[in-house]
Structure 1
Amino acid sequence: MTDDLGYASAAELAELIARREVSPVEVTGAFLERIETTQPAINAFITVCAEEARAAAKQAEAAVMRGDELGPLHGVPFAVKDLVNTAGVRTTFGSWALADNVPAADSPAVARLKAAGAILVGKTTTPEFGHKCFTEAPLFGRTANPWDLTRTSGGSSGGAAAAVAAGLTPIGIGTDGGGSSRIPAACCGVVGFKQTLGIIPHDLTPDGFGNQSHITPMTRTVMDSALMLRAMAGPHPSDPHALGLPTPDFVSAARPRGDLKGLRIAWRPLLGNTQLSREVREACERALAAFAELGASVEPVEEDFQSTEPIWLILTQSFWNARFRRYVAQFGNRMSETLLRQMDNGAGHSAVALQEAMFERTRVFREIQGWFAHHDIVATPTLSRTALPIGHDFFAPIRIDGEVADTVRKAWYPYTLPLNLSGNPAVTLPCGFGADGLPIGLQLIGPHLGDAKLLRAAALFEAARPWADKHPTTAAL
C-alpha cells in the first residue's frame, strides 16, 4: 500500500470509494497488510478481525457497484480500543480475566460507526482496564510509539493513537477517563478529541451518573474527528448524560472558513503543576501565535489552580476496587502490578472521603466554568514534556529539562485530569516536535457544549499549520 493511501484521511478515503477510484476491498486489505507488517514492532492491536473485515469490505464494494446510497464513512476501516464492546469480537479490557470475553452486541458508538459504513479491522491495545498512561499489560506486552520504538505511545488509548499515527487505520475509537485519549494523541502526533460529557453515549460504565469517562474519536485530522462525532453522537437510554443534549453540526464546524476575529483565548502554561519543558512551552506559544494571526486574542493567565489528582484518585481508585477487585482472587498473579498497587492504595477510602471527593468534583466543575466568563477557549500544553521512555516506572519521578520533577501523573499530565472531572470538551492538536523528534501537543478547552467552537478553532489552526503530512519514519514502517 502506498503511503498516500495509508495516510489518507477517512474523508478522503470515503470520497475515493464513492467515486469508485478505489474499492473497499482494496483499502481494507491494504490496511490489514500494514497491521500485520508492523504488529511485531509497534504492537498496536490485541485482536485483528481480518476475516470479518474482508467480508464486510466485499459487502461494501457490492453496495458501491449497485449504486446504493452510501454512508459518510462507507468502506473506511476503523479500529476500536479494547475497552469498548464489539459484537462477536472479543473485548478483553487488556486483562487475562476477560481474555475470552466476546460481547453479544456493539456499544452504541461502534454500532453507529458501522451504520455510517465504516469497517472494523481490529481491537487496539489498552493497559489493563485502562488504568494508566502507559499502554502495557501482561495480556499482550507493550505498545511502542511509532515515532520512536523506545518511547511510550501513551495511554490508556495508546494502541489507538499508535495505529492512527502509523497509518494502520485512518480512524479509531478511544476512551478518556483522565486524559486517556489526549495523552497518547499528544505522544503520537494525532488529534485526540474529548467531547462534552454525554455527547457520545457511554454504555459500559456501571456508574452512569458519576461517570467521568468518555468514548472518543482518534484521528489524524480535525475533519475526521468531526465525521466520527457526527456518526457517534446522540442520545441513548444507557447513558443519563446523553439524554436531551443537542447535536451540533460538527462537520460544518470543522470546515476551515473565515478567521478567528473576536475569539478570546486564555493561555495557561501551568495547571496545578510547577514544571514545563522549555521546548513544549515554546511550541505551544508558536502555535498560539498562529491563532493570533487568525485574529484571536491570546492572554496569558497565571492564576493558581489546585491539582485535581487527589480528587481523581479517590473517585477512580474507589471505582476500580468496586468493579475489578472481584478478579484478584483468580487472576491476581496475572494482573498488572500497577493496577493492583493502586487498588490497594485506595482500598481504605471511606464513604465520607468518597462523598467529599464528589463535592470537590462539583467545586472543580464550577471553577472551570468560571474560566469562560471572560474567555471563549482556554489553551494549555497537553503534556509537560514529550513521550517518556518505554518501561518508565509509573510511580517514579520524571525528568523535565534534565531536572527531577514529580511523579508521572502529577508532573506529566496534570492538564488532562481536570476536564474529566468537569466534563468540558477538550482537544489536543499536534503543534510541533521536540529535540528528540517526538510530537508535542497543544490542548484547547471549551465551555460545556462548546464542541463546535473547538472544532472550528482547531480546523483553522490545522489549515494554518498543517500536520497530517508528517508521518513516523521508524524502521517498523
Structure 2
Amino acid sequence: MIRNRQVSPVEVVGAALARIERSQPTLNAFITVAAEPAMAAAREAEAAITHGYRLGPLHGVPVAVKDLVPTSGIRTTWGSLIFKDHVPDTDAEVVARLKRAGAIVVGKTTTPEFGQQCLTEAPLFGRTRNAWVADRSSGGSSGGSAVAVAAGLVPIAVATDGSGSTRIPAACNGVVGFKQGLGLVPQEYAQDGFGNISYITPMTRTVYDTALMLEVMAGPDSRDPLSVARGKPNFVTAANAEEPLTSLRVCWRARLGNSAVAREVLSACESALSALAGLGAEITELSAPFENPERVWSVVNGAYRLAQFGHHLQEHREIMCPTFVRQMDRISGCSAAELYDAMFQRTRLYRQVQSWFEACDIVATPTLSRSAVPIDQDFFGPIDIDGEPVENIRAGWYPYTMPFNLTGNPAISLPAGFDSAGLPLAIQLIAPIGADAALLRAAAAFE
C-alpha cells in the first residue's frame, strides 16, 4: 500500500505511534518510544517515494526493537535500571539491515533485566500484560515485542530467543515466533561468538512476514564466526509455495521431559496435526527417551550470564531485579567441571536431536505445556496445569523450546487456537539444521 501510494509512511508511522500511546497504560509493551526520530524517518521515506527513488522491501514500515538489541541514538537499557540512560552510538547489524530495507524504528520493547526470565517484568518498567487477557503474563523475554505485534501496535518486531524468548511470548499472544538456525542471522556483538545460544529473531503476525524479515536480517557477517559459512535461501519463495506437503514426514512428541501437558493444549495440537495430515503430511509419533533439558540449559546459560553481568551484582544488587539476582546467586558456585559436564551433555543432546531427523523431516511439539500463566506467577514456584501444581516454570512450562537453543535447530511457534479462557494456544515445528526455508514452507502451508 505504501509502494502504491494508497497510504503514506507518515500516516502509517503516525498511526503506529498513536496506538502505542493509547495502549501503553494498559499493555506496557514499550520502554522507549522514539516518536521524533520515527516521524523524521517517515518524512524522509515519503520524500523518497515522491522523488521516485528505489525503495526497499520494508520501505516506510514501522518496526519495534526489543530493548536487548542496540539502536543508534535510541535508548537501550537491557531492561535494567543500571543502564536506564544508556544510548548507543551504533546499531546492531540486524537493525542496520532493517533500516537499509526501509523499516522505521518506532521504539524499544520491554524485556526483563538482561532478558533472563520468561515473564516480562523488571524494576525499570513494571509488567507487560498479555494482549488478550490483562491478568495473564505476556510471556518472555520478548514479551513487549509479542504484545506490540499481537495488539496491532506495529506489524513487525525484532525479538531475541535464548531459551524460547521469542516462541514463548508468541505462543502466549497468538502470533508467529521463529527462531532460525544457528548462524543464519548474525549477532556480531555476542561476547562468546563460538558458544552463543541466543538468537536475534523476527516476531510477526504471519509466516510470510517472518520470511520477509528474514530476507533482510539473514546473511553472513565477518564479526560473527557462526554466520560466515551459512548460505541464504529465498525465504519469501519458500513461504509462498503452494504445493501440498505430500511426503513430508512429521513426528509428534507431546512431552520433552515434563510431567504434564494441559488437555486443551493437546487437543489444539491434535487438531493442528490433523490439518497437516490433510495437507498431505505423514504423521507418526516420536517415542525415543528424552531427559528434561532444564539443568543443562541452566548451567550453560547461567555461567555465560554470570561472566557477562555478574560484576554488576557487587555495585548494583539493590536496584537489580530480584529474580535475576537469585538466578546469578544460584549459579555462582558452579565449578569448571560442572560447566564442562553441561557442555558435554549439550553435545550429546545435539546428536540425539539430529538423529530424530533420520526418520522425519519435521518434529512437532506443543510450544508450551499450558496457556499464559497468571501475571503474578512466581518464577521459582510450580505452575498449575489442569488444576494441579507441577514443576517450576522452566522445567514444566517451556521444556519444548530450550533444547533447540542448545542444538541450533530452527523452530517456529504457530497459533493453534484458543483455550476455554480465551487465551491463545500454539504448536511448535522443528526442522534439521539448514532447513529453515523448508520449515517456513511447512509453516506457511499450515497457516
Same fold, judged at TM 0.5 (above): yes
Give the alignment partner of residue 113 of structure 1, picking from 98, 102, 121.
Answer: 98
**In 1: Cα distance, 2:50 partner to 2:187 partner:** 35
Kept in 2: contact 1:108–1:201 (CA 8 A): yes
**In 1: Cα distance, 2:163 partner to 2:240 partner:** 29
**In 2: Cα distance, 1:256 partner to 1:248 partner:** 14
Give the alignment partner of residue 118 of structure 2, picking from 133, 153, 178.
Answer: 133
What secondary structure does 1:254 align onto? helix
Equivalent residue, structure 2, for 1:403: 388
Deviations 1:109-167 (A, max 9, x none): 10000011000000000000000000000001000001011000000000000000000
Deviations 1:303-322 (A, max 9, x none): 22111111111111111211
Equivalent residue, structure 2, for 1:124: 109
- Kindly report which structure 2 residues correspond to 1:232-311, keeping only aligned pairs within 5 A, or say none: 232-311=217-296
Give the alignment partner of residue 6 of structure 2, picking from 21, 26, 34.
Answer: 21
Give the alignment partner of residue 359 of structure 1, picking from 337, 340, 344.
Answer: 344
2:336 equivalent to 1:322 = no
When normalised by structure 2's length, the TM-score is: 0.99
Q: Displacement of 1:256 after TM fit?
A: 4.1
Amino acid in the other structure paired with 1:426: A
Kept in 2: contact 1:96–1:331 (CA 8 A): no
**In 2: Cα distance, 1:66 partner to 1:223 partner:** 29
Give the alignment partner of residue 337 of structure 1, picking from 306, 317, 322.
Answer: 322
When normalised by structure 1's length, the TM-score is: 0.93
Equivalent residue, structure 2, for 1:418: 403
**In 1: Cα distance, 2:93 partner to 2:10 partner:** 25
Equivalent residue, structure 2, for 1:161: 146
What secondary structure does 1:373 align onto? coil
What secondary structure does 1:105 align onto? coil
**In 2: Cα distance, 1:126 partner to 1:81 partner:** 7
Kept in 2: contact 1:85–1:106 (CA 8 A): yes
Equivalent residue, structure 2, for 1:209: 194
Amino acid in the other structure paired with 2:407: S
2:39 equivalent to 1:54 = yes
Kept in 2: contact 1:84–1:204 (CA 8 A): no
What secondary structure does 2:13 align onto? helix
**In 2: Cα distance, 1:213 partner to 1:309 partner:** 16
**In 2: Cα distance, 1:218 partner to 1:19 partner:** 25
**In 1: Cα distance, 2:423 partner to 2:223 partner:** 39
Amino acid in the other structure paired with 1:64: I
Segments of 5+ residues of structure 2 without an aligned counterpart are none
**In 1: Cα distance, 2:160 partner to 2:252 partner:** 26
**In 1: Cα distance, 2:338 partner to 2:189 partner:** 25
Equivalent residue, structure 2, for 1:30: 15
Equivalent residue, structure 2, for 1:460: 445
Give the alignment partner of residue 187 of structure 1, picking from 169, 172, 193.
Answer: 172
What secondary structure does 1:26 align onto? helix
Amino acid in the other structure paired with 2:138: S
2:162 equivalent to 1:177 = yes
**In 1: Cα distance, 2:317 partner to 2:46 partner:** 46
Segments of 5+ residues of structure 1 without an aligned counterpart are 1-15, 463-477
**In 2: Cα distance, 1:109 partner to 1:446 partner:** 23
Aligned length: 447
Give the alignment partner of residue 78 of structure 1, picking from 35, 39, 63.
Answer: 63
**In 1: Cα distance, 2:29 partner to 2:316 partner:** 24
**In 1: Cα distance, 2:287 partner to 2:389 partner:** 23
Equivalent residue, structure 1, for 2:369: 384
Equivalent residue, structure 1, for 2:26: 41
Amino acid in the other structure paired with 1:174: A
Q: Displacement of 1:57 after TM fit?
A: 0.2
Equivalent residue, structure 1, for 2:332: 347
Kept in 2: contact 1:265–1:378 (CA 8 A): yes
